Amino acid sequence: MNRIEAVIHQLEAQQHAINAALAALREVAGTATSTHQVTNGNARSIAQKARWAAQRAEAAAAHGRAQKRGLTPEGRRRLAENMKKRWAAKRTAAQAHKRARKRA
């Protein structure tokens, strides 16, 4: 489900970039239907930001970094088991050291 949410988020970002680019083009062409579409700066700035966002999305997709990877449940279980083993070894080593100090 996490992958689907990431795809939805990416598509929404692209949709926002496309809408901003369209608004900028309409503004430049003088065919803007409403002025409330361009609120955060001038049309050129918004269009440039949209182009940069599209380039970043393309680069991320080309490099396979569209989504961050997480631990699988099996990987998390193995990691937990290994950490328990490490801490158990450390605990027994500390107890052995403590006993050796008492004897001396």
The token pair that represents 97 in the structure block: 């050291």
Instruction: For the chain, give every domain's residue range.
Output: 1-70, 71-104
d(CA 40, CA 1): 33
Q: Which residue type occupies 7?
A: V
Please enumerate in sequence order all residues whose Cβ is within 8 A of that of 51, keeping only pairs 6 or more positions apart, or say none.
Answer: 21
Residue 82's pLDDT band, with cuts at 50, 70 and 90, is: very high
- Please write the tens of the pLDDT for every residue from 10-55: 888 888 888 888 888 888 887 755 555 555 567 788 888 888 888 8
Which residue did the predictor score with more confidence, 7 or 80? 80
C-alpha span between 66 and 60 (Å, rounded): 5
What's the pTM value of the predicted model, to 2 decimals? Answer: 0.34
CA angle 65, 19, 1 (to 5 degrees): 40
Residue identified by tokens 């500390």 is 94
Of 42, 49, 48, the C-alpha closest to 27 is: 42
